[in-house]
Structure 1
Amino acid sequence: MSFQAGLSGLNASSKALDVVGNNVANSSTVGFKSASAHFGDLYAASLTGSGASQIGIGTALNTVVQQFTQGNITTTSNTLDLAINGGGFFKVTNGTSVSYTRNGQFHTDSKGYVINDNGYKLEGYIATATGEIVASEPAAIQIDTGNISPLATGNATGGDATLKLNLNSSKSTPTVTTFDSTNPLSYTYSTSMTTYDTLGVEHAIRYYFIKGDTDTTTGLTSWTVHATLDGDSATDTTMGTLDFDSSGLLSSVTDSGGASTTTGVLALPSTWDITTGATTPLGSGLPNWNVDFSGSTSYSGESTVNAMTQGGYAQGQLSSLTVSDDGTIQGNYSNGQTKTLAQVVLSTFANPNGLSSIGNNLYTSTPASGQGLDSVPGAGTRGLLQSSAVEESNVDLTQELVNMITLQRNYQANAQSIKTQDQIMQTLVNLR
C-alpha cells in the first residue's frame, strides 16, 4: 500500500526540515558546521528474491553528515580569540574528559587557565622555565602571570655588552694628562650605557676615551678607555686600550693588566666599590660586565656610537599576550621582554564525520572517527591560527532557505499521495 511510502516520505521531509532548521538556527554560531540529511530507499524483503517489477515502500534516514568546510574569518578585539584557517580541531578538557571544537572563543579564568565559554580548558604544549617548547603530552594551558626575573648585563644567557663606535682620528691628545671624569679636558670622547645588576637594578656606566700619540714604529694609535659607575669614580677606572692601525681599523685590545687580546673584549674596573661607593649599590655582587669593542674604527670624522647592545634587563610584569600562526603563546612584559609560555595543539581525525556532537560546539571521538592525532598548527593537514579572530558558521543561509522550500514541496507531495490513496480506498469501500 502506498500509505507506507507516503508516510515514510512525510517522515523523511520532516527530518530533513529539522536539519535545515538547525542549520538556520546556528547560522551565527561561531565554529558551527552545517549538516545535510542523507536518505536511502526501502524495499520489502522477498523470499523469492527481487525482480524487475519490484516496487519500493518508501525512504528512511541513513545519516546526517556535517560539512567540515572552512567558514569565514572575522576579526575581534580579544587576543585569545583564535580562528583555524584550515583543518584540525582545538583540544579542550573539563578535567575528566577530552572534547574537540572549532569554536576558538577563549579567555582566561581566575587561575590563568585558557578556557572557553563552557569552562573547558584549552590544551597545548607547555613551555619550560627557559621558554622552550618541547612536544609531549598536551596539557591544559595556564598563563603564568608572575613577573619575569631580571637578567644581569653580561650574564651567560645575555652575553657580553657590545659597543661599536668610531673615534675621531683627527682629534688631538687631551691637554690635561691626568684623567678626571669631571674634567672634559682630560678625555677626548665619552658615552654612556644602561646596564643591570643581578637584582635588576639599573646602572649607568660611562665610558671615556683618551686619544694617545701614534707609535712611529708600529703605526698604531692607542685610545685609553676608562669607565665610571653611576657617576662615581673608583681608585682605578682604567679598562685598557684600543689600538687602531693606519687604516683606522681596530688592530688589538690591551686590558688594564697589559695583556693583549684579539677578541676585542675589555673588562670593567674590578676596583669599583659596588656595595657602598656607588650611587645605587649592587646587592649581590659585581656582574660580568665585559664590553666587546669589536668592529670599532678610528676614522677622521665625528666620534659616534654606531651600535650598542647589552643583554640585561629589570624584572617585568606581564602586560599582554600574543599568539602566532603556529599557536605559540608569548607573554609581553613591561620591561620590553617576551617569553614563550605555551603552544596550542590541533587534533585531526581520519574521519571527522565519525565525531559525535555533544552540544556547545563540542565533539567527542568515536571508533568511527578514529583517535585524535595531536600536533602544532601548520603540521600536516592542520591549518594555521589567526589571533583576535573567530571562524564563522559555514551555513549558507540562502541555500538553506531554498532547501526549506524544496522540502516543503516534498512534504506536500507525500501528503497528497496519502490523500489520493485514501480516496481510492474510499472508492473500494463504497462498492456494492
Structure 2
Amino acid sequence: MRALHTAATGMMAQELNVQVISNNIANLRTTGYKRQQAHFQDLLYETFRRSGSATSDQNTQVPAGIEIGSGVKTAATARVMTQGNLTATEKEYDVAIRGDGLFRIRLPDGRTAYTRDGSFDLDAQGQIVTRDGYLLDPGITVPQNASKVSIGANGTVEVTVPGQVEPQELGQIQLARFINKTGLESIGDNLFLETPASGPAIDGNPGTEGFGTLQQTYLEEANVNAVTEISSLISAQRAYEMNARIITAADQMLSSTTQMFRG
C-alpha cells in the first residue's frame, strides 16, 4: 500500500528534524554557534490524470488532474547566520564580531578555516591562537613584556611595553565574508571551510564597507532561542505521531482487505 511508504518517509524526515533541533539545543551555550534549520521537499508524483487533458470532442478540459505524491525528502539543513548576543567576559583576548564577517584561522595542514568564535589566547611563543591552538591568520605575536593589549574596533592590535610612552602596533586582525554564508562547510570545533557553494572568501578589515566591527572582552553567544527550539520540537513530535498513525491505519485497512479475500 502506497500510504505505508509515504508515511515512512514522513517519519524519517521528522526524525532528522528532531536531530537538527537537538543539536541546536545541545549547542545553546557554544560560543559563536549558528543554529540549523531542516528544509524539506515533496517527492515525485504519479500522475493518473493530467490537468488540462481533454474530456470530450468539444475541447472541454479537466480543470484539475489527479496526482498522488510519494512522500517527503530532506532538501537541506541550512545554517541561520544571524547575529548572536554579545556577553562580557573581561578577558583581554576575547573578541566578538558585531556585524558581518568571520575570523580567519590557519589550520595545522595549511588550510584556512573561518569562525565566529573569538575566544583567543596566547601560546608559548606569544602568538594569538584559538582554544585548540590554531593560529589566527594573519598571525600576531605579543611580546612577553607587554603589560596591556588593546584590540580596536577596526582590528588594530596594540600593546603597551614598559619604557615606552606610545602604544606599539603589532598587527591587524582581518575578517572574511562570503556571498553565500550558508554554503560554508561545518567541520566542528566552531570552524567552517570554504566550498564552491559559499564562493571565495572576501577579505577585509573590520569596520570597512560590508564588514562588522570588533569588540574586545566580549564573546558572541549562540543564536539559538530555547523557546523556539522547544516549540519546533513539539511540532516535529506531533508530525511524527501523525505519520505513525497513518501507518497504523494503512495496516488496519490492509488487514481488513486480506480478511475479505479469505472470506
- What TM-score comes out, normalization by structure 2 length? 0.90
Structure 2: distance between partners of 1:67 and 1:417: 33
Q: Which amino acid aligns with 1:68?
A: M
Paired residue for 2:198? 369
Q: Which amino acid aligns with 2:15?
A: S
Unaligned 5+ segments in structure 1 are 124-138, 146-316
> What do the CA deviations read for 1:244-271 (whole angstroms, capped 9, x no partner)?
xxxxxxxxxxxxxxxxxxxxxxxxxxxx
Paired residue for 2:56? none
> What do the CA deviations read for 1:93-144 (whole angstroms, capped 9, x no partner)?
1242110000000000001111111111111xxxxxxxxxxxxxxx322223
- Say if 1:345 and 1:375, in contact at 8 Å, map to a contact too: yes
Structure 2: distance between partners of 1:427 and 1:141: 75
Q: Which amino acid aligns with 2:92?
A: T
Cα deviation for residue 379 of structure 1 reads 1.3
Paired residue for 1:109? 123
Structure 1: distance between partners of 2:120 and 2:212: 18
Cα deviation for residue 378 of structure 1 reads 1.0
Paired residue for 1:66? 79
Cα deviation for residue 337 of structure 1 reads 3.0
Paired residue for 2:93? 80
Q: Which amino acid aligns with 1:70?
A: Q
Structure 2: distance between partners of 1:76 and 1:17: 32
Number of aligned positions between the proteins: 245
Paired residue for 1:26? 27
> What do the CA deviations read for 1:7-35 (whole angstroms, capped 9, x no partner)?
01001100000110000000100000011
Paired residue for 1:320? 148
- Does residue 331 (structure 1) correspond to residue 159 (structure 2)? The answer is yes
- Say if 1:75 and 1:388, in contact at 8 Å, map to a contact too: yes
- Say if 1:82 and 1:387, in contact at 8 Å, map to a contact too: yes
Cα deviation for residue 4 of structure 1 reads 1.1
Q: Which amino acid aligns with 2:205?
A: V
- Say if 2:185 and 2:192, in contact at 8 Å, map to a contact too: yes
Structure 2: distance between partners of 1:74 and 1:328: 21
Structure 1: distance between partners of 2:126 and 2:175: 21
- Say if 1:365 and 1:371, in contact at 8 Å, map to a contact too: yes
Query: Hey, which of these two has a bigger chunk of strand by percent?
Result: 1
Paired residue for 1:9? 10
- Does residue 36 (structure 1) correspond to residue 37 (structure 2)? The answer is yes
Q: Which amino acid aligns with 2:187?
A: I
Paired residue for 2:142? 143
Larger Rg: 1
- Say if 2:174 and 2:203, in contact at 8 Å, map to a contact too: yes
Change (3 A) 1:45 1:76: same
Structure 1: distance between partners of 2:132 and 2:201: 21
Change (3 A) 1:50 1:381: farther
Structure 2: distance between partners of 1:90 and 1:15: 30
Cα deviation for residue 43 of structure 1 reads 2.1
Change (3 A) 1:403 1:77: same
Change (3 A) 1:100 1:50: farther
Q: How does 1:76-225 map to 2 (within 5 A)?
A: 76-95=89-108, 96-123=110-137, 139-145=138-144
- Say if 1:144 and 1:341, in contact at 8 Å, map to a contact too: no
Paired residue for 2:59? none
Structure 2: distance between partners of 1:380 and 1:35: 28
> What do the CA deviations read for 1:262-290 (whole angstroms, capped 9, x no partner)?
xxxxxxxxxxxxxxxxxxxxxxxxxxxxx
> What do the CA deviations read for 1:127-172 (whole angstroms, capped 9, x no partner)?
xxxxxxxxxxxx3222233xxxxxxxxxxxxxxxxxxxxxxxxxxx
Unaligned 5+ segments in structure 2 are 52-64
Structure 1: distance between partners of 2:247 and 2:68: 17
SS of corresponding position for 1:65 = strand
Paired residue for 1:353? 182
SS of corresponding position for 2:96 = strand
Q: Which amino acid aligns with 2:147?
A: S
Q: Which amino acid aligns with 2:112?
A: V
Structure 2: distance between partners of 1:417 and 1:49: 25
Structure 1: distance between partners of 2:140 and 2:183: 27
Paired residue for 1:284? none
Cα deviation for residue 57 of structure 1 reads 1.1
SS of corresponding position for 1:83 = strand
SS of corresponding position for 2:66 = coil
Percent sequence identity is 33
- Say if 1:94 and 1:119, in contact at 8 Å, map to a contact too: no
Q: Which amino acid aligns with 1:92?
A: I
Q: Which amino acid aligns with 1:333?
A: V
Cα deviation for residue 50 of structure 1 reads 5.0
> What do the CA deviations read for 1:357-402 (whole angstroms, capped 9, x no partner)?
0001100000100111111001121100000000000000000001
